[in-house]
Chain A
Amino acid sequence: MNVYQAVRDAMSVALTKDDTAVVFGEDVAFGGVFRCTMGLAEEFGRERVFNTPLTEQGIAGFGIGMAAMGHTAIAEIQFADYIFPAFDQIVNEAAKLRYRSGGQYDCGRLTIRTPSMSVGHGGLYHSQSPEGFFMGAAGLKIVIPRSPIQAKGLLLGSVRDPNPVVFMEPKILYRSAVEHVPIDDYELPLGVAEVLHQGTDLTLLSWGTPLYHCETALHMLQHPPPELAPHVPQRLRGAKIELIDLRTILPWDVQTVVDSVNKTGRLVIVHEAGATGGVSSDIGAEVQKRCFLKLEAPVRRVTGWDTPVPLQYEKFHIPDALRILDTIVDTLSY
């Protein structure tokens, strides 16, 4: 399965096992613009898988209302770039409903799925990574998977989590990432990061698409192509890098990250969103507070620039493997 098929499979499981579950959003009935809801309307009926009018604030508000009545609401925002009209509903309403009503009402059964991150030619409004904007919305969870297995398990975990979840799907991976995905029902835990490679010299932390650039950078560190070899000192090529997929952005797994940095003494964080106000700011601050005596180099961030995502300049905007490699080399040589 690829990522869109895994996402579709997760929703099919959710709809099969839970009679209250519904899937809705713009253009989901014919299968969705990314094919994530293919055949669901035919399989479960238009009463459970349906199009809404083109209104993001309406979609989010509608989902909150359904979830408040105890129904499982799986809403889709067509692109994360268009989640901002629903920002008020998500931040002021969904995140705060349980707290403000003394626990009488909640919308924990709401999950908002949305494709995010850059895709090669998405320009300003089909490329954004808005996870950082939601970091202050206590009461909300933010989840980003990296692969088909992760997407299915984390999406089912999100749908069944007793809190509202914004689930951001890296859209460039929809068709490019393929692996064997269990067809049965399984969940992956929220709030838990995953260590992909063990290491002792540097912690490399990311989520979603840039994890693949991290993998490439690590390969280049070991085996630099001839053109780059002069920039990668021989003594660093055997460095053992610990690669971590954060998976849940809010609340993030501080323990796994801190344990890793206490071991390696070095941290590089990679994300597509701009540096200022990005998720890495929070992580960097917590890590320097908790690992101050163990840090052997400044915490570094490899991110998109603090500009909108520009169409023709994308290759120079994203935190690609070369920029990650350069920062790793810098940090290891500090």
Chain B
Amino acid sequence: MIRTGARIAGQFLQPRSVATAAQRAVPHVEVRVGRLPQSQSPFVPKLQFFNSVTATGQQIPTYRVMDGSGSALDGSSMPEIDEATARKIYEHMVLLPTMDTVLYNVQRQGKISFYMTAYGEEATVVGAAAALEPHDEVLGQYRESGVLLWRGFGLDNIMGQCLGNVEDTSTKGRQMPVHFASREHHFYSISSPLATQIPQAAGVGFALRRTPGRQNSIAVCFMGEGAASEGDFHAGLQMASTLPCPTMFIVRNNGFAISTPSTEQYHGDGIASRGPGYGIDTIRVDGNDVLAVLSAVKEARKRCLEQSRAVLVEAMTYRVGHHSTSDDSFAYRARSEVEDRKKIDNPISRMRRFMEERGWWSAKEEEELKARLKADVMKAFKRAEGLSRPSLTELFDDVYAGQEPWTIKEQRSELFGLLKKYGQAWDPWKKELGKFKNGGQDLIDAGK
């Protein structure tokens, strides 16, 4: 882009001093012997191309603390964890797929319109949630319901949103299922456009830094490796690093963006390799090792707050489920590959074995937990299923704050008038009206 603003205004600018941070950091004498104003890079006489972020040309390593069977690795930096915390983490790791299974199945039965499971990513989402403070502002993509569960959002609110009923405080029945929002739980409104939350998270971090009483909170932004290809990824990391903003970016690298394997998403060393390019402290972690995620995110949070600057965590995991209920993933990957992954590297069984080794868990408790959680989820679903949709007037509310524009006011009246005229005569409307609060009667009355 050519910017000729100054010239257009007829105001020729004085050449600006372009002393960069790098230049300021370099002693004057070194500048004279040869350094560039925008870099601290030394000159070399040999022709040499560079294509790695590590000194040895290897890939960025993946941090893990327990092996595939839940045993601590030799010399691993284990997070300090007591039995109560371990049990809470494990319970939520089991609750997430229990809830997913029920909601996936009711979608198949046509009782909700859409759903997305987090199968295989339980350790990444729950481990991160456990490492954060409850007042950290979370901006998610859509596969992070586990954070809300961890924060006590409750199954009734989950069901309310997915069914779009009168208890849907997240969206008042306006957004598709799994698009949660809760101010109370510091969980920002999910939207479908990918990666838009990334630069927003930079702004949230910057605002927190400037909010009295919130200087101990950070912004946490989740995304998948596919979303990291969007321009907003570049924008968001660049801004959070440069301005700077206490914002943690957590990438769930689960190998697929719908059908596109990560090999077709990028040619570099995953997402983590990009972090240093932005000057961001970065770690790659085994996303199926909940204790490694816990430990990495805790440390990342500490750095984020101390430096008031972005940090990047890439959690390597595998999307065991289909992308969504509108997707059959066996059209582009072998069923056996998925089954193998579930067996070889299951984040939930790894954590269970870790706990069993310490005598913190037993087969009996496992049975009881599964039965209890399933009953809880079914109870919440059955209850939610019986509730009506919100008032039909909500269709027009909240577009604007303050005085309602004439457009909305007139269009609301137009629909009211049509409902009064045709509400009981036009079958597609008649059936729908019955699902709303008071059968839509408040609108029909208002149209009189």
Contact = CB atoms under 8 A, between A and B. Distances in A.
A20 interface: yes
Interface string A203-222: 00000000000000000000
B34 to A, nearest CB: 27
Interface in A94-140: 96-106, 108, 115, 119, 121-122, 125-126, 138-139
Interface in B319-350: none
A1 interface: no
B188 A57 contact: no
B169 A102 contact: yes
Contacts of A82: 1
A99 B174 contact: yes
Given A58-B202, A58-B236, A65 B405 contact: no
Interface stretch (A45-53, A235-243, A324-332): A45-53
Contact of A61 (B13, B232, B400): B232
A99 B183 CA distance: 14
Interface in A66-116: 66-71, 73, 78-79, 82, 85, 88-89, 92-93, 96-106, 108, 115
Interface residues of A, number: 66
B171 interface: yes
A33 B5 contact: yes
Interface string A136-168: 001100000000000000000000011100000
A100 B191 contact: yes
Given A55-B235, A71-B210, A93-B191, A100 B171 contact: yes
B189 A100 contact: yes
Contacts of A254: 406
A117 to B, nearest CB: 12
Contacts of A198: none
B107 to A, nearest CB: 21
A174 B5 CA distance: 12
B239 A101 contact: no
Given A58-B235, A58-B236, A105 B181 contact: yes
Interface stretch (B38-46, B74-82, B192-200): B192-200
B403 A103 contact: no
B407 interface: yes
Contacts of B170: 101-102, 104
A190 B8 CA distance: 29
Given A69-B207, A171-B9, A102 B174 contact: yes
Interface string B167-183: 01111101100010111
A80 to B, nearest CB: 12
Secondary structure dominating the interface of A: loop
B402 A93 contact: no
Contacts of B196: 61, 88-89, 92-93
Interface residues of B, number: 64
Given A69-B211, A82-B1, A99-B398, A58 B239 contact: yes
Contacts of B236: 58, 61
B206 interface: yes
A234 interface: no
A69 B218 CA distance: 12
B2 to A, nearest CB: 8
Contact of B182 (A34, A104, A125): A104
Nearest to A81: B1
Contact of B188 (A62, A68, A85): A68
Contact of A102 (B181, B239, B400, B403): B181
Contact of A55 (B168, B210, B239): B239
Contact of A139 (B168, B181, B201, B399): B399
Nearest to B214: A69
Contact of B401 (A70, A108, A255): A108
Contacts of A197: none
B203 A64 contact: yes
B405 A85 contact: no
Interface string B213-250: 00000010000000000011011101100110000000
B386 interface: no
B58 interface: no
Contacts of A108: 401
Nearest to A174: B9
A73 B207 CA distance: 10
Contacts of A122: 8
A265 interface: no
A150 B313 CA distance: 48
B9 A175 contact: yes
B402 A102 contact: no
B397 interface: yes
Contacts of A70: 207, 211
Contact of A68 (B182, B198, B204): B204
A53 B242 contact: yes
Given A126-B8, A175-B10, A105 B239 contact: no
A85 B13 CA distance: 26
Interface in A155-203: 161-163, 171, 174-175, 191
B137 interface: yes
A99 B398 CA distance: 5
Nearest to A82: B1
Contacts of B168: 102
A161 B405 CA distance: 13
Contact of A93 (B16, B193, B399): B193
B444 to A, nearest CB: 23
B208 to A, nearest CB: 7
A251 B407 CA distance: 8
Nearest to A63: B203
B181 A61 contact: no
Nearest to A140: B400
Nearest to B408: A138
B4 interface: yes
A35 interface: yes
B56 interface: no
12 contacts: A33-B5, A54-B1, A65-B207, A69-B207, A69-B211, A71-B207, A71-B211, A97-B191, A103-B398, A126-B4, A163-B402, A251-B407
8 residue pairs, one from A and one from B, having the closest CB atoms:
A65-B203, A61-B199, A58-B235, A33-B5, A251-B405, A69-B207, A101-B189, A65-B200
